[in-house]
C-alpha cells in the first residue's frame, strides 16, 4: 500500500493511538486521529485528587501485556506505580479467606485440593485440546481454526486447524462444566466479572480466555501486576505526546461518506477527504446513551452488511463511583466481594479499590454491574444507591461521592452469533469500503488486547 495515503482513525483510546503508533513504525505518517472528548485514553481515565491520580477505568496490567510494553518502549516510560494487593469479604462485610494459602490448609480442605487438580487439568487442556485459543482476536475460531499471533514476547505468527476451538462459543460456565473443571470459575471470576465483563453463564468462553489466557490469569492470581504512578491514562497521554500526529481532541464527527474510492469525514462542520478509515470507536450502541455517544452505524453511510452484523453487538452496564471516607472508615486494602459476583446479586458492589496505601486522604473506587442477558437492567440511580448501602455493610461507608461514571463497556456478541461466524464475517469485510474495524469488539475490552489488535490490523493490511 502507498505509504502516503491519508488515513483517518476514529477514537483516541488505546486502540486508536496504538494504530497510529504501529502505522508510524511501518512508515505511514499521513494519518489523523479524531477524539470526541477533551482527553485521550478512552476507558483509561485517571483524574486527579489532592495531588495524586486515581483510576476511574483501567487499573492495572500484567507482564504478558506485550502491546502495552511496546507503548512503554516507544515513549520511554515504565510501570512505576504503587504495588497492589487485595483481601476478600463476604456479603455481610466479614473478612474471609476463600483460597487456602498454606499447604497445611490445603490438606485440611478437600475442596481446595479438588480445585488445584482442576486448575492443573485446565492448563493442560488449554495447551493441548484448545491449542491456539489464546491468539489475539477471534478470526477462525467459529470455523475450528486459529490464525494470529502467539501470546509471547516475540508474538510469532501462528495458524492451524483445531476443531475443538468451536467450543469457545459456549458460555464459559458451560465450557468449564463440559471439560470437567467447574471450579476454575472461582479463580477466573475475580479479574473477569468484577472488572465488568459480565457473567459466566452468558459470556462466550472465547472472550474470557482471549483476555485471561492461562499465563495472564496466573499473573493476576499471584498479584504479579503492573501499575503506573500517574495512572493508566498516563500511558496513552505519553503515546499521544510522542506521535508525529497527536489526536485532534473535541472532534465531533457528524457524517462519514465512502464513495469513489475516497472517505469523506465531516468533522466539526468541515468536510475532510481521506483514502482509508480505521474505526476504533463503538460500531453499534443499542439504545440512546445519556452522554450522547453514538455507534458508527449512526453517522456513517452504513451498508446493509454493516447494519446487520453490528446490530448483534451488546455491551455491559458497568458503573464506577469514586468516594471519600472518614479517616477511621478508610479500608486498609482493596476488597473483592465474591458473593456479589453472581447474576442474582446484579447491581451490588463487587470490588472496591484502594490505590494509595500511605494516606487515607485519597479516594476509593467502587465497581458494579447492572445488566445480565436474561434479567431486567437495573436503573443507574438504583445501582448507585445499592453500592452505597453495600459500603455501609462493608464497614467503609462513603462520606462523599466525588466522581462517577457509567461507561459504554465491553462490546461483545453472544453464543449464537459467535458460533454462526460473526467474527469471520466482519473480518471478511476489512477494507471492503476502504474501512477497517478495530477497537474493543474485535478482540476484547481491555487496553492490551485492543492495542494488540491494532498491531495485527496494521501488519495484515498496511
By the 8 A CB rule, do 349 and 340 touch?
yes
Q: Is the pLDDT of residue 105 over 60?
A: no
Q: What are phi and psi of 80, to 5 degrees?
A: -120, 20
**Angle, to 10 degrees, between the axis of helix 66-75 and the axis of helix 232-242?**
50
What integer pLDDT is reported at residue 289 of this predicted model? 85
Residues 6+ apart with CB under 8 A from 110: none
* Fold classified for 317-410: Alpha-Beta Plaits (3.30.70)
pLDDT digits (tens, 9 = 90+) for 231-286: 999 999 999 999 999 999 999 999 999 999 999 999 999 999 999 999 999 999 99
How many CA atoms within 13 Å lie on the side-chain side of 370? 20
The Cα–Cα gap between 312 and 189 comes to: 25
pTM for this prediction: 0.95
CATH C-level class of 7-78+228-313+413-461: alpha beta
What integer pLDDT is reported at residue 77 of this predicted model? 97
DSSP, residue by residue, 56-111: SS---B-TT-HHHHHHHHHHT-----PPP-EEEE-TTS-EE--S--SHHHHHH-HH
Please report which confidence band the pLDDT of residue 100 belongs to, taking 50, 70 and 90 as the band edges.
Answer: low
Neighbours of 68 (CB within 10 A): 27
| Mean of the per-residue pLDDT values of the chain | 95
Instruction: Specify the range with the lowest mean pLDDT, choosing from 254-268, 288-302, 325-339, 396-410.
Output: 288-302
pLDDT digits (tens, 9 = 90+) for 381-410: 999 999 999 999 999 999 999 999 999 999
What integer pLDDT is reported at residue 321 of this predicted model? 97
pLDDT digits (tens, 9 = 90+) for 160-198: 999 999 999 999 999 999 999 999 999 999 999 999 999
Q: Is the pLDDT of residue 338 over 90?
A: yes
Domain assignments of the chain as residue spans, ordered by start: 7-78+228-313+413-461, 112-221, 317-410
Q: Is the pLDDT of residue 30 over 70?
A: yes
Q: Is the pLDDT of residue 103 over 80?
A: no
Q: Which CATH number fits domain 112-221: 3.40.228.10, 2.30.40.10, 1.10.1740.10, 1.10.405.20?
A: 1.10.405.20
Please report which confidence band the pLDDT of residue 287 belongs to, taking 50, 70 and 90 as the band edges.
Answer: confident
Amino acid at each position: 500500500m502507498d505509504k502516503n495515503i491519508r488515513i483517518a482513525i476514529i477514537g483516541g483510546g488505546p486502540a486508536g493511538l496504538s494504530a497510529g503508533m504501529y502505522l508510524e513504525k511501518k512508515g505511514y505518517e499521513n494519518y489523523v486521529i479524531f477524539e470526541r472528548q477533551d482527553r485521550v485514553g478512552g476507558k483509561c481515565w485517571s483524574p486527579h485528587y489532592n495531588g495524586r491520580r486515581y483510576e476511574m477505568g483501567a487499573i492495572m496490567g500484567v507482564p504478558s501485556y506485550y502491546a502495552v510494553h511496546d507503548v512503554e518502549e516507544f515513549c520511554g516510560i515504565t510501570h512505576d506505580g504503587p504495588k497492589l494487593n487485595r483481601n476478600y469479604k463476604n456479603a455481610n462485610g466479614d473478612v474471609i479467606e476463600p483460597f487456602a494459602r498454606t499447604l497445611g490448609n490445603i490438606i485440611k480442605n478437600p475442596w481446595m485440593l479438588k480445585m488445584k487438580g482442576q486448575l492443573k487439568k485446565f492448563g493442560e487442556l488449554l495447551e493441548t485440546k484448545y491449542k491456539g485459543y489464546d491468539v489475539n482476536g477471534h478470526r477462525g475460531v467459529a470455523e475450528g481454526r486459529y490464525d494470529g499471533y502467539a501470546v509471547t514476547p516475540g508474538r510469532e505468527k501462528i495458524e492451524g486447524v483445531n476443531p475443538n476451538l468451536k467450543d469457545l462459543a459456549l458460555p464459559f460456565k458451560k465450557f468449564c462444566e463440559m471439560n470437567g473443571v467447574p471450579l476454575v470459575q472461582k479463580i477466573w471470576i475475580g479479574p473477569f466479572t468484577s472488572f465488568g465483563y459480565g457473567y459466566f453463564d452468558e459470556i462466550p468462553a472465547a472472550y474470557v480466555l482471549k483476555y485471561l489466557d492461562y499465563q495472564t490469569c496466573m499473573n493476576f492470581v499471584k498479584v504479579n501486576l503492573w501499575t503506573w504512578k500517574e495512572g493508566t491514562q498516563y500511558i496513552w497521554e505519553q503515546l499521544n505526546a510522542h506521535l508525529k500526529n497527536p489526536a485532534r481532541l473535541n472532534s465531533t464527527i457528524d457524517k462519514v461518506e465512502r464513495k469513489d474510492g475516497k472517505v469523506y469525514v465531516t468533522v466539526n462542520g468541515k468536510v475532510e477527504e481521506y483514502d482509508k478509515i480505521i474505526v476504533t470507536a463503538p460500531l453499534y450502541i443499542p439504545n440512546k446513551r445519556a452522554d450522547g455517544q453514538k455507534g458508527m452505524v449512526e453517522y456513517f453511510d452504513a451498508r446493509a452488511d454493516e447494519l446487520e452484523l453490528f446490530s448483534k453487538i451488546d455491551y455491559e452496564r458497568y458503573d464506577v463511583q469514586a468516594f471519600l471516607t472518614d479517616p477511621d472508615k478508610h479500608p486498609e486494602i482493596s476488597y473483592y466481594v465474591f458473593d456479589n459476583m453472581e447474576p442474582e446479586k446484579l447491581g451490588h458492589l463487587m470490588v472496591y479499590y484502594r490505590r494509595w496505601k500511605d494516606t487515607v486522604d485519597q479516594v476509593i473506587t467502587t465497581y458494579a454491574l447492572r445488566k445480565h442477558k436474561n434479567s431486567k437492567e437495573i436503573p443507574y440511580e438504583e445501582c448507585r444507591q445499592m453500592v452505597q448501602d453495600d459500603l455501609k455493610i462493608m464497614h467503609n461507608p462513603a462520606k462523599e461521592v466525588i466522581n462517577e461514571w457509567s461507561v459504554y463497556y465491553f462490546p461483545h456478541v453472544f453464543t449464537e452469533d459467535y458460533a454462526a461466524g460473526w467474527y469471520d464475517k466482519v473480518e471478511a469485510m476489512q477494507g471492503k469500503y476502504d474501512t477497517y474495524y478495530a477497537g474493543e469488539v474485535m478482540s476484547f475490552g481491555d487496553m492490551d488486547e485492543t492495542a494488540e489488535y491494532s498491531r495485527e490490523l496494521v501488519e495484515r493490511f498496511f
